[in-house]
Amino acid sequence: MITTFDNYDLSKRNTFAMKVKCSVFMEYTEANDIPFILSSIRKDVKSIHIGAGSNLLFTNDFPGVVLHSAIKGIEIVDETQNSLIVRAGSGETMDDLIRWTCDRNLWGLENLSGIPGEVGASAVQNVGAYGTEACDAIVTVHAFDRVTNEFISIDRKYCAYGYRDSIFKKPDSKDRYIINSVDYRLSPISAPRISYPALRDMFDKNIISELHPHDVRKAVITTRDSKLPAPDRVPSAGSFFKNPIVSQSLFEKICENENDVNIPHYMTESGYKIPAAWLIDRCGWKGHKEGNVAVWHLQPLVIVNPESKASPSEVINLEKKIIESVYERFGVNLHPEVEHI
Ligand code: EPU
């Protein structure tokens, strides 16, 4: 079924609660609706596809068509002794899927508990938290290809997954694929991943082998709640910036300039990853308020719109100031994680 709205208010369709509109909003419940919808959009009209809008900043009204999948359904499509494949519709809420898998004692997605967003968008963004990324469990992405006009199944190895990145975000294939469902490989065999310090400290070492996925899910949600704004009460788009990766020489220079304080960092193949939260915190932004926007007082990586009154330009001004101050102090370029539309 396809539902169409004209001159549509998007404020409830983006978790940042930006009061913007689009010319047309189209929501569909079946994959088979997609070819019809696409053929009904004139070639000169812009269109974008959104999920729950949890990682978006609409910088203005959108003069075109906004598409949204309401394709539901979670089912087991294949089963072996050690693992099974669960297929979820792109319009399912990611956290509903995770609760479903934990209810069935299946391991693999529990560390992503509490992440706002829907299944389709989480496969685009490769959401991640507490040592797990969506791509760790994804095996196949089912999509409609707008170039060849056919439904295809994309094996994980062709999805080019990286840190908050995938083929679905690359400039030459962005907007090419409309995801209708995602297959995840999950396991009934106990596999808690609790090496992330905040999680590790919550469990007694002796009981790790007895944990249920719901135990880890609860611990993840408790940790998230202690740092991140509650998505249903404080509008935001989660982490606003990506954690930057810097060269060894820049890292050493920062250590020297900061009087060798213990700079948190992780080694990656391409260099030293420093938490953007630390850099922003060090520049004194934590809890900073400016008009209708603020830097979250418990996690400075998050820009919030506490009273749902902020305009996109207020967010962008604050974003620019944070980027400039981090660059001035550390010589590090921050890049937004949040997609600007
Ligand atoms: N830190 C500070 N000050 C603070 C908070 C953090 O200096 O007020 C420093 C600390 O050194 C801390 C480090 O930043 O150890 C990392 O903080 P945290 O563990 O909270 O994680 P993060 O790197 O800031 C990432 C993801 C989050 C995800 C968490 C947990 C990105 C951009 N963000 O944040 O994802 O929940 O790890 O795994 O990678 C999101 O994508 O929307 C999101 C919330």
- At 214, the pLDDT band (50, 70, 90 cuts) reads very high
CA atoms within 13 A on the CB side of 213: 22
Whether residue 114 has its Cβ less than 6 Å from ligand 1: no
Q: Give me ligand 1 centre to Cα 303, in Å.
A: 13
- At 28, the pLDDT band (50, 70, 90 cuts) reads very high
What is d(CA 144, CA 5) in angstroms, rounded to the nearest whole number?
Answer: 23
Give DSSP secondary structure letters for 41-87: S-TTSEEEEESSSTTEE--S-EEEEEEEE----EEEEEE-SS-EEEE
What is d(CA 164, CA 335) in angstroms, rounded to the nearest whole number?
Answer: 12
Q: Nearest C-alpha to atom 22 of ligand 1 is from which residue?
A: 275
Q: Quick check: is 337 catalytic? A: yes
Whether residue 163 has its Cβ less than 6 Å from ligand 1: no
Q: Nearest C-alpha to atom 7 of ligand 1 is from which residue?
A: 278
Q: From the CA atom positions of the chain, what is the Rg in Å?
A: 21
What is d(CA 45, CA 12) in angstroms, rounded to the nearest whole number?
Answer: 23
Which residue among 13, 87, 156, 164 is the active-site one?
164
Q: Give me ligand 1 centre to Cα 193, in Å.
A: 17
Q: Give me ligand 1 centre to Cα 64, in Å.
A: 35
**pLDDT value at residue 209:** 85
Whether residue 299 has its Cβ less than 6 Å from ligand 1: yes
Structure tokens at 109: 């997605």
Closest C-alpha among 242, 234, 250, 248 to residue 275: 242
Contacts of 157 (CB under 8 A, 6+ apart): none
**pLDDT value at residue 204:** 87
- Residues 314, 316, 318, 322: what is their CA dihedral angle, to the nearest 10 degrees? 180
**pLDDT value at residue 298:** 97
Q: What is the pTM of this model?
A: 0.95
Which residue among 27, 133, 319, 337 is the active-site one?
337
Whether residue 99 has its Cβ less than 6 Å from ligand 1: no
Q: Which residue type does 60 have?
A: N
Q: Quick check: is 47 catalytic? A: no
Residue located via tokens 């967010």: 315
What is d(CA 105, CA 126) in angstroms, rounded to the nearest whole number?
Answer: 23
Whether residue 129 has its Cβ less than 6 Å from ligand 1: yes
Residue located via tokens 């008009």: 291
Whether residue 100 has its Cβ less than 6 Å from ligand 1: no
Residue range 124-165, pLDDT digits in tens: 999 999 999 999 999 999 999 999 999 999 999 999 999 999
What is d(CA 207, CA 127) in angstroms, rounded to the nearest whole number?
Answer: 28
Residue located via tokens 């030459």: 172
Whether residue 162 has its Cβ less than 6 Å from ligand 1: no
What is d(CA 204, CA 97) in angstroms, rounded to the nearest whole number?
Answer: 28
CA atoms within 13 A on the CB side of 112: 28
Mean pLDDT of the chain: 96
CB 82 within 8 A of CB 189: yes
Residue range 72-130, pLDDT digits in tens: 999 999 999 899 999 999 999 999 999 999 999 999 999 999 999 999 999 999 999 99
Neighbour tally for 200: CB within 10 Å: 12
Which residue among 185, 239, 282, 339 is the active-site one?
239
**pLDDT value at residue 140:** 98
Q: Quick check: is 164 catalytic? A: yes
Check residues 65 and 269 and name the one with the higher pLDDT.
65
